[in-house]
A and B are shown apart, each in its own frame.
Chain A
Amino acid sequence: IKMTHELMKLPYELDALEPLMSKETLEFHYRKHHQTYVTKLNGLIKDTKYEDLPLEDIIKDSEGGVFNNSAQVFNHDFFWQSLTPGGSEIPSEVEDALTKTFGSVDKFKEEFTNTAVNHFGSGWAWLVKDASGKLEIVATANAATPITEGLTPLLTCDVWEHAYYIDTRNARPAYLENFWKLVNWDFVAKNLAKQQKYECIRRIFLLIHRQVIELILQSSRIVLFVLMLVLNPQLFQHLYFLTQQEHQPLHFY
Protein backbone atom coordinates (compact mmCIF):
# COMPACT_ATOMS: atom_id res chain seq x y z
CA ILE A 1 0.00 0.00 0.00
CA LYS A 2 1.61 3.23 -1.07
CA MET A 3 1.37 5.80 1.67
CA THR A 4 1.03 9.49 0.96
CA HIS A 5 1.49 11.30 4.20
CA GLU A 6 -0.86 14.16 4.88
CA LEU A 7 -0.55 17.12 7.17
CA MET A 8 -2.50 16.11 10.27
CA LYS A 9 -5.68 18.02 11.01
CA LEU A 10 -5.12 20.46 13.85
CA PRO A 11 -7.38 19.56 16.84
CA TYR A 12 -8.30 23.26 17.17
CA GLU A 13 -8.57 26.45 15.14
CA LEU A 14 -5.46 28.44 14.24
CA ASP A 15 -6.44 31.21 16.67
CA ALA A 16 -7.58 28.89 19.46
CA LEU A 17 -4.32 29.11 21.39
CA GLU A 18 -4.34 32.91 21.55
CA PRO A 19 -3.08 34.99 23.21
CA LEU A 20 -0.38 32.63 24.49
CA MET A 21 0.43 31.32 21.02
CA SER A 22 -0.69 33.65 18.28
CA LYS A 23 -2.64 32.79 15.14
CA GLU A 24 0.33 34.11 13.14
CA THR A 25 2.64 31.60 14.80
CA LEU A 26 0.24 28.75 14.05
CA GLU A 27 -0.10 29.93 10.45
CA PHE A 28 3.62 29.77 9.88
CA HIS A 29 4.51 26.88 12.18
CA TYR A 30 1.67 24.60 11.06
CA ARG A 31 0.91 25.72 7.50
CA LYS A 32 4.52 26.41 6.45
CA HIS A 33 7.11 24.56 8.58
CA HIS A 34 5.07 21.44 9.40
CA GLN A 35 3.52 21.30 5.91
CA THR A 36 6.98 21.56 4.27
CA TYR A 37 8.22 18.54 6.22
CA VAL A 38 5.19 16.54 5.03
CA THR A 39 5.58 17.64 1.40
CA LYS A 40 9.32 16.97 1.39
CA LEU A 41 8.83 13.55 2.97
CA ASN A 42 6.37 12.45 0.29
CA GLY A 43 8.79 13.61 -2.38
CA LEU A 44 11.75 11.78 -0.85
CA ILE A 45 10.05 8.41 -0.22
CA LYS A 46 8.51 8.14 -3.69
CA ASP A 47 9.68 4.93 -5.40
CA THR A 48 11.69 3.84 -2.37
CA LYS A 49 11.19 1.13 0.22
CA TYR A 50 9.82 3.79 2.59
CA GLU A 51 6.77 4.40 0.41
CA ASP A 52 4.81 1.52 1.98
CA LEU A 53 5.84 2.06 5.58
CA PRO A 54 3.95 3.85 8.33
CA LEU A 55 5.62 6.98 9.68
CA GLU A 56 7.19 5.51 12.82
CA ASP A 57 8.75 2.65 10.86
CA ILE A 58 10.29 5.12 8.41
CA ILE A 59 11.78 7.10 11.29
CA LYS A 60 13.32 4.04 12.93
CA ASP A 61 14.89 2.82 9.70
CA SER A 62 16.19 5.93 7.95
CA GLU A 63 18.83 8.63 7.99
CA GLY A 64 19.65 11.86 6.19
CA GLY A 65 16.80 13.69 4.46
CA VAL A 66 14.22 10.92 4.88
CA PHE A 67 14.88 10.73 8.61
CA ASN A 68 14.99 14.48 9.01
CA ASN A 69 11.60 15.06 7.41
CA SER A 70 9.81 12.00 8.77
CA ALA A 71 11.00 12.67 12.32
CA GLN A 72 9.98 16.32 12.11
CA VAL A 73 6.51 15.30 10.87
CA PHE A 74 6.17 13.01 13.89
CA ASN A 75 7.57 15.58 16.31
CA HIS A 76 5.23 18.30 15.12
CA ASP A 77 2.21 15.96 15.14
CA PHE A 78 3.06 15.18 18.74
CA PHE A 79 3.59 18.85 19.60
CA TRP A 80 0.18 20.03 18.38
CA GLN A 81 -1.46 17.25 20.38
CA SER A 82 0.53 18.28 23.46
CA LEU A 83 -1.32 21.60 23.42
CA THR A 84 -4.97 22.44 23.89
CA PRO A 85 -6.87 25.74 23.99
CA GLY A 86 -6.87 27.12 27.51
CA GLY A 87 -4.76 24.30 28.86
CA SER A 88 -6.21 21.54 31.04
CA GLU A 89 -6.39 20.02 34.52
CA ILE A 90 -3.85 17.37 35.42
CA PRO A 91 -5.46 13.94 35.79
CA SER A 92 -4.63 12.28 39.09
CA GLU A 93 -2.67 9.38 37.55
CA VAL A 94 -0.35 11.84 35.79
CA GLU A 95 0.08 13.88 38.96
CA ASP A 96 0.93 10.71 40.88
CA ALA A 97 3.46 9.57 38.30
CA LEU A 98 5.13 12.99 38.20
CA THR A 99 5.22 13.30 41.98
CA LYS A 100 6.71 9.83 42.30
CA THR A 101 9.57 10.61 39.91
CA PHE A 102 10.23 14.33 40.39
CA GLY A 103 8.91 15.08 43.87
CA SER A 104 6.08 17.31 42.73
CA VAL A 105 4.41 18.61 39.60
CA ASP A 106 6.09 22.01 40.09
CA LYS A 107 9.52 20.42 40.43
CA PHE A 108 8.84 18.49 37.21
CA LYS A 109 7.85 21.70 35.42
CA GLU A 110 11.00 23.39 36.71
CA GLU A 111 13.26 20.61 35.48
CA PHE A 112 11.49 20.40 32.13
CA THR A 113 11.73 24.17 31.70
CA ASN A 114 15.45 24.15 32.53
CA THR A 115 16.09 21.39 30.01
CA ALA A 116 14.11 23.28 27.36
CA VAL A 117 15.66 26.68 28.05
CA ASN A 118 19.24 25.45 28.33
CA HIS A 119 19.21 23.33 25.21
CA PHE A 120 21.72 24.84 22.77
CA GLY A 121 20.25 25.57 19.35
CA SER A 122 17.32 23.84 17.67
CA GLY A 123 15.55 20.85 19.15
CA TRP A 124 12.86 19.52 21.44
CA ALA A 125 12.30 18.94 25.14
CA TRP A 126 10.44 15.73 26.02
CA LEU A 127 8.84 13.93 28.92
CA VAL A 128 9.35 10.26 28.12
CA LYS A 129 8.82 6.84 29.57
CA ASP A 130 11.26 3.98 29.11
CA ALA A 131 10.37 0.30 28.66
CA SER A 132 10.25 -0.23 32.42
CA GLY A 133 7.83 2.63 32.91
CA LYS A 134 10.36 5.07 34.38
CA LEU A 135 9.73 8.74 33.58
CA GLU A 136 12.53 10.94 32.29
CA ILE A 137 13.10 14.39 30.81
CA VAL A 138 15.27 14.42 27.68
CA ALA A 139 16.26 16.99 25.10
CA THR A 140 16.85 16.11 21.46
CA ALA A 141 18.67 18.20 18.87
CA ASN A 142 17.20 19.33 15.54
CA ALA A 143 14.96 16.51 14.24
CA ALA A 144 16.04 13.81 16.69
CA THR A 145 13.21 12.00 18.44
CA PRO A 146 13.12 9.66 21.46
CA ILE A 147 11.24 6.89 19.64
CA THR A 148 14.49 5.85 17.96
CA GLU A 149 15.88 5.14 21.44
CA GLY A 150 12.99 2.88 22.37
CA LEU A 151 11.47 5.58 24.59
CA THR A 152 7.77 6.45 24.70
CA PRO A 153 7.07 10.17 24.43
CA LEU A 154 4.44 11.62 26.76
CA LEU A 155 4.80 15.38 26.17
CA THR A 156 6.94 17.61 24.00
CA CYS A 157 7.88 21.26 23.60
CA ASP A 158 9.37 22.57 20.33
CA VAL A 159 12.38 24.78 21.10
CA TRP A 160 13.36 25.58 17.54
CA GLU A 161 13.36 29.38 17.32
CA HIS A 162 10.52 29.30 14.78
CA ALA A 163 8.26 27.96 17.53
CA TYR A 164 8.44 31.15 19.60
CA TYR A 165 10.16 33.88 17.65
CA ILE A 166 6.97 35.59 16.43
CA ASP A 167 5.44 35.70 19.92
CA THR A 168 8.32 36.09 22.36
CA ARG A 169 11.29 36.85 20.09
CA ASN A 170 14.51 35.64 21.77
CA ALA A 171 12.86 35.06 25.15
CA ARG A 172 12.62 31.28 25.29
CA PRO A 173 11.80 31.30 29.05
CA ALA A 174 8.71 33.44 28.38
CA TYR A 175 7.64 30.95 25.72
CA LEU A 176 7.95 28.10 28.21
CA GLU A 177 5.77 30.01 30.68
CA ASN A 178 3.06 30.24 28.01
CA PHE A 179 3.58 26.60 27.07
CA TRP A 180 2.63 25.37 30.55
CA LYS A 181 -0.68 27.20 30.30
CA LEU A 182 -1.51 25.29 27.10
CA VAL A 183 -0.42 21.75 27.96
CA ASN A 184 -2.93 19.03 27.17
CA TRP A 185 -2.56 16.81 30.25
CA ASP A 186 -5.20 14.39 28.95
CA PHE A 187 -2.90 13.65 26.02
CA VAL A 188 -0.09 13.02 28.50
CA ALA A 189 -2.36 10.67 30.45
CA LYS A 190 -3.30 8.83 27.27
CA ASN A 191 0.37 8.28 26.40
CA LEU A 192 1.17 7.23 29.94
CA ALA A 193 -1.57 4.58 29.95
CA LYS A 194 -1.49 3.39 26.35
CA GLN A 195 2.01 1.99 26.22
CA GLN A 196 1.72 0.05 29.48
CA LYS A 197 -1.02 -2.08 28.01
CA TYR A 198 0.86 -2.55 24.77
CA GLU A 199 4.07 -3.39 26.59
CA CYS A 200 2.51 -6.30 28.48
CA ILE A 201 0.84 -7.67 25.41
CA ARG A 202 3.98 -7.14 23.36
CA ARG A 203 6.13 -9.09 25.84
CA ILE A 204 3.71 -12.02 26.08
CA PHE A 205 3.42 -12.11 22.32
CA LEU A 206 7.19 -12.15 21.88
CA LEU A 207 7.53 -15.01 24.39
CA ILE A 208 4.92 -17.17 22.70
CA HIS A 209 6.31 -16.22 19.30
CA ARG A 210 9.77 -17.37 20.30
CA GLN A 211 8.51 -20.70 21.67
CA VAL A 212 6.44 -21.37 18.56
CA ILE A 213 9.41 -20.68 16.26
CA GLU A 214 11.57 -23.04 18.29
CA LEU A 215 8.94 -25.78 18.05
CA ILE A 216 8.55 -25.36 14.30
CA LEU A 217 12.31 -25.45 13.74
CA GLN A 218 12.79 -28.53 15.86
CA SER A 219 9.96 -30.48 14.31
CA SER A 220 10.99 -29.53 10.80
CA ARG A 221 14.50 -30.76 11.51
CA ILE A 222 13.14 -34.11 12.61
CA VAL A 223 10.80 -34.34 9.62
CA LEU A 224 13.64 -33.55 7.20
CA PHE A 225 15.87 -36.15 8.76
CA VAL A 226 13.20 -38.84 8.62
CA LEU A 227 12.42 -37.90 5.03
CA MET A 228 16.06 -38.20 4.09
CA LEU A 229 16.30 -41.70 5.56
CA VAL A 230 13.05 -42.81 3.96
CA LEU A 231 14.13 -41.63 0.51
CA ASN A 232 17.57 -43.14 0.75
CA PRO A 233 17.65 -46.31 2.91
CA GLN A 234 21.32 -46.80 2.10
CA LEU A 235 21.99 -43.74 4.17
CA PHE A 236 21.50 -45.90 7.26
CA GLN A 237 24.51 -47.94 6.21
CA HIS A 238 26.65 -44.92 5.43
CA LEU A 239 25.81 -43.26 8.66
CA TYR A 240 26.67 -46.37 10.62
CA PHE A 241 29.91 -46.65 8.71
CA LEU A 242 30.70 -43.05 9.54
CA THR A 243 30.19 -43.55 13.24
CA GLN A 244 32.56 -46.53 13.25
CA GLN A 245 35.30 -44.96 11.17
CA GLU A 246 35.49 -41.37 12.24
CA HIS A 247 38.82 -40.52 10.63
CA GLN A 248 38.34 -42.37 7.36
CA PRO A 249 37.12 -40.55 4.29
CA LEU A 250 33.62 -41.50 3.28
CA HIS A 251 33.38 -43.81 0.25
CA PHE A 252 30.17 -44.13 -1.71
CA TYR A 253 29.48 -47.51 -3.29
Chain B
Amino acid sequence: DIETNLTNPDKMIVKYSLPKLRYELNALEPIISKTMLDIHYNKHHVAYVNKLNMLLEQLQEAMNKGDITKIVNLQQEIQFNGGSHINHSLYWENLSPSAMGGGKLPDASSKFFKHVSTQWGSFQTLIDYMITRATGIKGSGWAWLAYHKESKQIIYEETLGQDTISMKGNLIPLLTIDVWEHAYYIDYKNARPQYLKEIWNIIDWKEVEKRYEAAIQSDIKLFSYIFMNQRLM
Protein backbone atom coordinates (compact mmCIF):
# COMPACT_ATOMS: atom_id res chain seq x y z
CA ASP B 1 0.00 0.00 0.00
CA ILE B 2 1.81 3.05 -1.29
CA GLU B 3 -0.08 5.59 0.84
CA THR B 4 0.96 4.22 4.21
CA ASN B 5 4.53 3.62 3.10
CA LEU B 6 5.14 7.17 1.96
CA THR B 7 7.48 8.99 4.27
CA ASN B 8 6.51 12.42 5.45
CA PRO B 9 7.68 14.74 2.63
CA ASP B 10 8.56 17.42 5.18
CA LYS B 11 10.95 15.14 7.05
CA MET B 12 14.53 16.20 6.45
CA ILE B 13 16.67 13.50 4.93
CA VAL B 14 19.85 12.90 6.86
CA LYS B 15 22.87 14.43 5.19
CA TYR B 16 26.07 12.45 5.67
CA SER B 17 29.41 14.17 5.97
CA LEU B 18 33.06 13.36 6.03
CA PRO B 19 34.03 12.21 9.54
CA LYS B 20 36.68 14.36 11.15
CA LEU B 21 40.11 12.73 11.34
CA ARG B 22 41.62 12.46 14.81
CA TYR B 23 45.04 13.29 13.37
CA GLU B 24 46.68 15.68 10.91
CA LEU B 25 47.04 14.71 7.26
CA ASN B 26 50.79 14.28 7.69
CA ALA B 27 50.51 12.37 10.97
CA LEU B 28 50.59 8.90 9.42
CA GLU B 29 53.89 9.43 7.62
CA PRO B 30 55.97 7.62 6.49
CA ILE B 31 53.49 4.72 6.32
CA ILE B 32 50.87 6.82 4.56
CA SER B 33 52.18 10.06 3.08
CA LYS B 34 50.38 13.38 3.44
CA THR B 35 49.73 13.49 -0.31
CA MET B 36 48.18 10.05 -0.38
CA LEU B 37 46.06 10.59 2.72
CA ASP B 38 44.93 13.96 1.41
CA ILE B 39 43.76 12.54 -1.91
CA HIS B 40 42.23 9.42 -0.34
CA TYR B 41 40.31 11.45 2.27
CA ASN B 42 39.60 14.76 0.49
CA LYS B 43 39.01 13.39 -3.00
CA HIS B 44 37.88 9.75 -2.93
CA HIS B 45 35.93 9.68 0.35
CA VAL B 46 34.41 13.10 -0.26
CA ALA B 47 33.16 12.00 -3.67
CA TYR B 48 31.48 8.93 -2.16
CA VAL B 49 29.79 11.04 0.55
CA ASN B 50 28.55 13.66 -1.91
CA LYS B 51 27.25 10.99 -4.27
CA LEU B 52 25.54 9.22 -1.37
CA ASN B 53 23.75 12.38 -0.28
CA MET B 54 22.65 13.07 -3.84
CA LEU B 55 21.33 9.54 -4.24
CA LEU B 56 19.44 9.67 -0.94
CA GLU B 57 17.79 12.92 -2.03
CA GLN B 58 16.72 11.21 -5.23
CA LEU B 59 15.50 8.25 -3.19
CA GLN B 60 13.42 10.52 -0.95
CA GLU B 61 11.90 12.14 -4.02
CA ALA B 62 11.14 8.79 -5.60
CA MET B 63 9.56 7.54 -2.39
CA ASN B 64 7.40 10.65 -2.14
CA LYS B 65 6.24 10.20 -5.70
CA GLY B 66 5.74 6.48 -5.27
CA ASP B 67 8.12 5.82 -8.18
CA ILE B 68 8.94 2.20 -7.40
CA THR B 69 11.12 1.76 -10.51
CA LYS B 70 13.34 4.64 -9.50
CA ILE B 71 13.47 3.37 -5.92
CA VAL B 72 14.72 -0.01 -7.15
CA ASN B 73 17.18 1.46 -9.67
CA LEU B 74 18.87 3.60 -7.02
CA GLN B 75 19.67 0.68 -4.72
CA GLN B 76 22.87 -0.50 -6.39
CA GLU B 77 24.54 2.91 -6.32
CA ILE B 78 23.37 3.59 -2.77
CA GLN B 79 24.86 0.27 -1.71
CA PHE B 80 28.14 1.20 -3.39
CA ASN B 81 28.49 4.76 -2.15
CA GLY B 82 26.94 4.07 1.26
CA GLY B 83 29.08 1.01 1.74
CA SER B 84 32.13 3.05 0.78
CA HIS B 85 31.26 5.74 3.35
CA ILE B 86 30.91 3.13 6.10
CA ASN B 87 34.11 1.36 5.11
CA HIS B 88 36.23 4.48 4.83
CA SER B 89 34.89 5.91 8.10
CA LEU B 90 35.81 2.71 9.93
CA TYR B 91 39.22 2.72 8.22
CA TRP B 92 40.15 6.28 9.35
CA GLU B 93 39.00 5.44 12.88
CA ASN B 94 41.21 2.36 13.19
CA LEU B 95 44.37 4.18 12.09
CA SER B 96 46.41 6.52 14.23
CA PRO B 97 49.97 7.86 14.43
CA SER B 98 52.36 6.08 16.78
CA ALA B 99 52.31 9.18 18.99
CA MET B 100 48.63 8.47 19.63
CA GLY B 101 49.15 4.76 20.19
CA GLY B 102 49.17 3.52 16.62
CA GLY B 103 50.90 0.16 16.24
CA LYS B 104 50.82 -0.57 19.97
CA LEU B 105 49.27 -3.96 20.73
CA PRO B 106 46.60 -4.12 23.44
CA ASP B 107 47.52 -4.96 27.02
CA ALA B 108 48.18 -8.66 27.61
CA SER B 109 45.66 -8.73 30.47
CA SER B 110 42.77 -7.46 28.34
CA LYS B 111 39.89 -9.66 27.26
CA PHE B 112 40.58 -8.83 23.62
CA PHE B 113 44.25 -9.82 23.82
CA LYS B 114 43.36 -13.10 25.51
CA HIS B 115 40.68 -13.88 22.93
CA VAL B 116 43.03 -13.30 19.98
CA SER B 117 45.82 -15.28 21.65
CA THR B 118 43.51 -18.20 22.42
CA GLN B 119 41.88 -18.29 19.03
CA TRP B 120 44.81 -17.35 16.77
CA GLY B 121 47.83 -18.33 18.85
CA SER B 122 49.33 -14.85 18.74
CA PHE B 123 48.84 -11.42 17.26
CA GLN B 124 51.72 -12.06 14.86
CA THR B 125 49.98 -15.16 13.51
CA LEU B 126 46.81 -13.15 12.96
CA ILE B 127 48.71 -10.30 11.30
CA ASP B 128 50.68 -12.63 9.02
CA TYR B 129 47.44 -14.34 8.02
CA MET B 130 45.75 -11.05 7.23
CA ILE B 131 48.73 -9.89 5.16
CA THR B 132 48.68 -13.09 3.09
CA ARG B 133 44.92 -13.05 2.55
CA ALA B 134 44.65 -9.32 1.88
CA THR B 135 47.47 -9.54 -0.68
CA GLY B 136 45.44 -12.14 -2.53
CA ILE B 137 42.24 -10.10 -2.82
CA LYS B 138 41.66 -9.88 -6.56
CA GLY B 139 40.98 -6.35 -7.74
CA SER B 140 39.42 -3.81 -5.37
CA GLY B 141 38.17 -4.63 -1.88
CA TRP B 142 38.62 -4.56 1.87
CA ALA B 143 40.24 -6.89 4.40
CA TRP B 144 38.40 -7.22 7.72
CA LEU B 145 38.77 -8.51 11.20
CA ALA B 146 35.26 -9.11 12.50
CA TYR B 147 33.41 -10.48 15.50
CA HIS B 148 30.91 -13.19 14.61
CA LYS B 149 27.97 -12.86 16.98
CA GLU B 150 26.73 -16.45 16.81
CA SER B 151 30.00 -18.29 17.19
CA LYS B 152 31.62 -15.54 19.30
CA GLN B 153 34.74 -15.88 17.15
CA ILE B 154 37.10 -13.24 15.85
CA ILE B 155 37.35 -14.01 12.15
CA TYR B 156 39.00 -12.74 9.01
CA GLU B 157 36.71 -11.70 6.15
CA GLU B 158 37.06 -9.92 2.86
CA THR B 159 34.64 -7.86 0.83
CA LEU B 160 34.92 -6.87 -2.81
CA GLY B 161 34.32 -3.45 -4.31
CA GLN B 162 32.71 -1.25 -1.67
CA ASP B 163 30.68 -4.05 -0.07
CA THR B 164 30.61 -3.62 3.67
CA ILE B 165 31.04 -6.31 6.32
CA SER B 166 27.39 -6.35 7.38
CA MET B 167 26.59 -7.77 3.95
CA LYS B 168 28.50 -10.92 4.86
CA GLY B 169 26.26 -11.90 7.78
CA ASN B 170 25.98 -11.24 11.47
CA LEU B 171 29.45 -9.73 11.74
CA ILE B 172 30.63 -6.76 13.78
CA PRO B 173 33.56 -4.89 12.22
CA LEU B 174 36.65 -4.70 14.43
CA LEU B 175 39.33 -3.67 11.94
CA THR B 176 39.33 -2.84 8.27
CA ILE B 177 42.08 -2.23 5.72
CA ASP B 178 41.44 -0.68 2.32
CA VAL B 179 43.14 -2.64 -0.50
CA TRP B 180 41.79 -0.62 -3.40
CA GLU B 181 44.82 0.54 -5.38
CA HIS B 182 44.07 4.17 -4.51
CA ALA B 183 44.77 3.28 -0.85
CA TYR B 184 48.44 2.56 -1.55
CA TYR B 185 49.43 3.39 -5.11
CA ILE B 186 50.99 6.81 -4.56
CA ASP B 187 53.36 5.53 -1.85
CA TYR B 188 53.83 1.88 -2.75
CA LYS B 189 52.87 1.64 -6.45
CA ASN B 190 52.15 -2.01 -7.24
CA ALA B 191 53.75 -3.30 -4.01
CA ARG B 192 50.59 -4.13 -2.10
CA PRO B 193 52.42 -6.63 0.19
CA GLN B 194 54.72 -3.82 1.33
CA TYR B 195 51.75 -1.56 2.18
CA LEU B 196 50.12 -4.39 4.11
CA LYS B 197 53.31 -5.05 6.04
CA GLU B 198 53.82 -1.41 6.99
CA ILE B 199 50.25 -0.54 7.93
CA TRP B 200 50.44 -2.44 11.21
CA ASN B 201 52.63 0.40 12.53
CA ILE B 202 49.60 2.69 12.46
CA ILE B 203 46.77 0.33 13.37
CA ASP B 204 44.98 1.74 16.43
CA TRP B 205 44.47 -1.40 18.50
CA LYS B 206 42.76 0.67 21.23
CA GLU B 207 39.95 1.41 18.76
CA VAL B 208 39.80 -2.23 17.66
CA GLU B 209 39.57 -3.25 21.30
CA LYS B 210 36.79 -0.70 21.94
CA ARG B 211 34.80 -2.20 19.07
CA TYR B 212 35.40 -5.68 20.43
CA GLU B 213 34.21 -4.67 23.91
CA ALA B 214 31.05 -3.20 22.40
CA ALA B 215 30.53 -6.27 20.20
CA ILE B 216 30.54 -8.69 23.12
CA GLN B 217 28.04 -6.54 25.05
CA SER B 218 24.28 -6.68 24.58
CA ASP B 219 22.83 -5.79 21.22
CA ILE B 220 21.40 -2.46 22.41
CA LYS B 221 24.76 -1.19 23.54
CA LEU B 222 26.32 -2.48 20.36
CA PHE B 223 24.00 -0.63 18.03
CA SER B 224 24.34 2.59 19.94
CA TYR B 225 28.11 2.35 19.77
CA ILE B 226 28.35 1.52 16.09
CA PHE B 227 25.87 4.09 14.90
CA MET B 228 26.54 6.96 17.30
CA ASN B 229 30.26 6.73 17.98
CA GLN B 230 31.19 6.10 14.38
CA ARG B 231 29.97 9.61 13.66
CA LEU B 232 28.13 8.54 10.56
CA MET B 233 25.24 10.89 11.30
Give the residues in chain A near B155, CB-CB below 8 Å: none
Whether the Cβ atoms of A170 and B43 lie closer than 8 Å is yes
- Output the least CB separation between A74 and chain B (Å): 16
Contact flags (1/0) for A128-169 with B, using CB distance below 8 Å?
Answer: 000000000000011100000000000000001110011001
Nearest-neighbor residue (CB-CB) of B183 within chain A = A161
Residue B47 at the A interface, CB < 8 A?
yes
B25–chain A nearest beta-carbon distance, Å: 15
A120 touches B47 (CB 8 A): no
B181 touches A160 (CB 8 A): yes
B161 touches A36 (CB 8 A): no
Report A-chain residues with C-beta under 8 Å of the C-beta of B162.
Answer: 120-121
Distance of A166 Cα from B36 Cα, bound (Å): 11
Let me know if A238 is at the binding interface, CB within 8 A: no
Closest beta carbon of chain A to B50's beta carbon, Å: 13
Task: Indicate if the CB atoms of B47 and A170 lie closer than 8 Å.
Answer: yes
Number of A-B residue pairs with CB-CB distance less than 8 Å in the complex they form? 50
Do B182 and A120 have beta carbons less than 8 Å apart? no
Chain B residues positioned under 8 Å from A123 (CB to CB): 139
Interface string of B174-200 (1 = CB under 8 A from A): 000000111001100110000000000
Is A107 engaged at the interface, CB distance under 8 Å to the other chain?
A: no
Q: Mark A14-28, 1 if CB is under 8 A from B, else 0.
A: 000000000000001
Q: Does B160 contact A (CB under 8 A)?
A: yes
Contact with B along A166-191 (1 / 0, CB 8 A): 10011000000000000000000000
| Interface check A68, CB cutoff 8 A | yes
Known: A120-B80, A162-B190. A68 touches B138 (CB 8 A): yes
Name the distance in Å between B133's Cβ and chain A's nearest Cβ: 14
Q: Is B58 located at the chain interface by the 8 A CB criterion?
A: no
Interface range on chain B (Cβ under 8 Å from partner): 10 to 19
Once the chains bind, are B138 and A169 in contact (CB under 8 Å)? no
Chain B positions within 8 Å of A160 at CB level: 139, 181
Q: Evaluate whether A165 and B43 lie within 8 angstroms (CB atoms) in the complex, with A32-B189, A120-B162, A160-B139 already known.
A: no
C-beta contact mask, B152-164 vs A, less than 8 Å → 1, else 0? 0000000011100
Mark interface residues in B39-54 (1 if CB within 8 Å of A CB, else 0): 1000110010000000
CA distance A121 to B189 in the complex (A): 17
Inter-chain CA distance A227–B47, complex, in Å, is 79
Q: Which residue of B lies closest to A165 (CB)?
A: B185
- B140 contacts the other chain (Cβ, under 8 Å)? yes
User: Mask for A96-124, Cβ within 8 A of B = 1, else 0?
Assistant: 00000000000000000000000011110
Give the complex CA separation of A122 and B141 in angstroms.
9
Number of residues on chain A facing chain B (CB within 8 A)? 19
A37 CB, nearest partner CB in chain B, Å: 11
B180 touching A121, Cβ below 8 Å: yes
Within 65-80 of A, Cβ neighbours of B (below 8 Å) are at 68
Query: B140: which A residues are within 8 A, CB to CB?
Result: 121-122, 161
User: Complex formed: what's the CA distance from A54 to B147 in Å?
Assistant: 46
Q: Which residue of B lies closest to A163 (CB)?
A: B181
A143 in contact with B190 (CB, 8 Å): no
A73 CB, min distance to chain B CBs, angstroms:
15
Whether B185 contacts A162 by the Cβ 8 Å rule is yes
Residue contacts A-B, CB under 8 angstroms, 30 given: A28-B189, A28-B190, A32-B189, A33-B190, A68-B138, A120-B162, A121-B139, A121-B140, A121-B160, A122-B139, A122-B140, A122-B181, A142-B138, A142-B139, A143-B138, A160-B139, A160-B181, A161-B180, A161-B181, A162-B181, A162-B185, A162-B189, A162-B190, A165-B181, A165-B186, A166-B185, A169-B186, A170-B43, A170-B47, A170-B182
Residues on A lying within 8 angstroms of B by beta carbon are: 28, 32-33, 36, 68, 120-123, 141-143, 160-162, 165-166, 169-170
With A161-B185, A169-B39 given, name 19 new contacts (CB 8 A): A28-B189, A28-B190, A32-B189, A32-B190, A120-B162, A121-B140, A121-B141, A121-B160, A121-B180, A122-B139, A122-B181, A123-B139, A143-B139, A162-B185, A165-B185, A166-B185, A170-B43, A170-B44, A170-B182
- List the 5 closest pairs (A to B, CB-CB), nearest first: A161-B181, A142-B139, A122-B139, A121-B140, A165-B185
